[in-house]
Chains A and B, each alone.
Chain A
Amino acid sequence: MPLPAALAARLAKRGLIQEQPAPPTQSKQAEEVEEVFAEDYDDLSKPEVPEEETHTKVPQEEPPETEKEIDDTEYIHEVTACPNRWNPYHTCVKHCKNRWGMKTFAAEPEMLRKRERMLRKYPLPDGWKEVADPDSGRYYYWSMQTDQVCWLSPGHPSAIISAPAEILTGTLAANLDEDFEDQEEMEPVEDEPMEAESDMSGSSSESDSEGERRRAPPRREPDPPRQGRSGQGRSGRYQDDRRGRRGGGRSRRDDIDPMDPAAYSDIPRGGWTDGLDTRGAAKTGVDSTASGPLFQQRPYPSPGDILRANQQLKK
């Protein structure tokens, strides 16, 4: 259904529609399809992916985040300059790219100098490519065979080679509850860029956005909502940390407090709801073992009050 001319003009002015109406739902669907297609979850199970296959496919799909070959050696991790890219509820569509363009990679000479020094010392092995990351303004290294990434040259002693952040966070979100060991293994991934940072910068201080760098391990999957998922994964991991700590404390807490009535009598251990006011139960505190006017007991409510209370309970 064509839009009214006035509305179309307003929407075009706000940048919400193009001149030739490309329906955003369709493009979104295409996005999802190609996301499934291009996503590489079998990173370790299928290491022999021919590199030209992935890379011939990537440009023709034009997802918002991908790696494009600028020339023979220069790869760039292409991301849109969309301001909403860090919004976990936002999925970059083609419009984001058209409207905001792509982020440009700006290398600082200091960083380039250190990179040179590192590469001279630890040259890249075969099958590893250097990819520019516009977000951090740094290069990372990507193995095209195994689809692993690393902030430092893989030969570097403190290099931590891992799967891309998208895959890590995806798996994190998938099996948050199941395995702790996996997350223990993944733990260094978060710290890796910081370590790499300190190593690369050597003794000189480099105070630019380290927090952001820590947040973003190398990405290479052409999948827009990754940042959101990485955030989820991180919080999930912290939750698990907490849980683990609690699990450690539980053994200590299992032995019973000697002042707890459960420790010296038949009373079962109470839960946190025990002793709370329960509706519909009489609170008379009748102690049938006591005799005489020991207790000024509370009288029962009148029958009318009880009937009304029962009515309330039924609701």
Chain B
Amino acid sequence: MSYMLQHLHNGWQVDQAILAEEDRVVVIRFGHDWDPSCMVMDETMYKTAEKIKNFAVCYLVDITEVPDFNKMYELYDPCTVMFFYRNKHIMIDLGTGNNNKINWCMEDVQEFVDIVETVYRGARKGRGLVVSPKDYSTKYRY
């Protein structure tokens, strides 16, 4: 369980958390702490937090507690991870067709670190859309 990652408890905190980061990617996990897939994702994020702290920061948002973004961000999945850089949503082409977010839980720490690093590098160059190092379109095969 991840008690070390910081929770954001309202929309204003989410907004400020993103605005406050000048040179780091903000990774936000939308979901519920009690959700099994979210637990897995949180575990992965917690493990990576130390590694990516120089260029990314992770936050957790309970979509029941903070329902402000549910409609606009289409937060229907149990676990959703989105990336923001300088108050801008960074899309990532994961091969799933939904470039806006990671809407499944990732178990592999290194994969997640790679994705965040790719986002950071792309966003630094001013890209709004980055291509994931790994194609996840066949992720259901294995």
List residues of A whose CB falls within 8 A of some B CB: 280-282, 284, 286-297, 299-304, 306-307, 309-310
* B137 x A291 contact (CB < 8 A): yes
Q: Which of A280, A282, A291, A301 lies at the interface centre, i.e. has the most chain B CB atoms within 10 A of its CB? A: A291
B104 at interface by CB-CB < 8 Å: no
Give the number of chain B interface residues (Cβ < 8 Å): 31
Which B residue sits closest to A310, measured CB to CB?
Answer: B68
* A299 x B15 contact (CB < 8 A): no
Given A286-B97, A291-B137, A296-B129, 13 new contacts (CB under 8 A): A282-B73, A284-B74, A284-B100, A291-B96, A292-B93, A292-B135, A295-B99, A299-B128, A300-B100, A302-B84, A306-B73, A307-B11, A307-B15
**Count of chain A to chain B residue pairs whose CB atoms are closer than 8 Å in the complex:** 85
List residues of B whose CB falls within 8 A of some A CB: 11-12, 14-15, 18-19, 68-69, 71-74, 82, 84, 87-91, 93, 95-100, 128-129, 131, 135, 137
B19 surroundings in chain A (CB, below 8 A): 304
| Shortest Cβ distance from residue A78 to the other chain B in the assembled complex, whole angstroms | 69
The 9 closest A-B pairs by CB, nearest first: A299-B89, A290-B97, A304-B15, A291-B137, A300-B89, A303-B15, A282-B72, A303-B14, A302-B87
* A306 x B72 contact (CB < 8 A): yes
User: Please, how many angstroms separate the alpha-carbon atoms of A292 and B68 in the complex?
Assistant: 30
- Which single member of B18, B90, B100 contacts A286 (CB below 8 Å)? B100
User: Please, how many angstroms separate the alpha-carbon atoms of A69 and B28 in the complex?
Assistant: 93
B90 surroundings in chain A (CB, below 8 A): 299
User: Please, how many angstroms separate the alpha-carbon atoms of A40 and B70 in the complex?
Assistant: 66
Which B residue sits closest to A290, measured CB to CB?
Answer: B97
- Which single member of B12, B98, B100 contacts A299 (CB below 8 Å)? B100
B96 surroundings in chain A (CB, below 8 A): 288, 291
What are 29 A-B pairs with beta-carbon distances under 8 A?
A280-B72, A281-B72, A282-B72, A286-B74, A286-B98, A288-B96, A288-B97, A288-B98, A289-B97, A290-B97, A291-B95, A292-B93, A292-B135, A294-B97, A295-B99, A296-B129, A297-B91, A299-B89, A299-B91, A299-B100, A300-B82, A302-B18, A302-B88, A306-B68, A306-B73, A307-B11, A309-B72, A310-B11, A310-B68
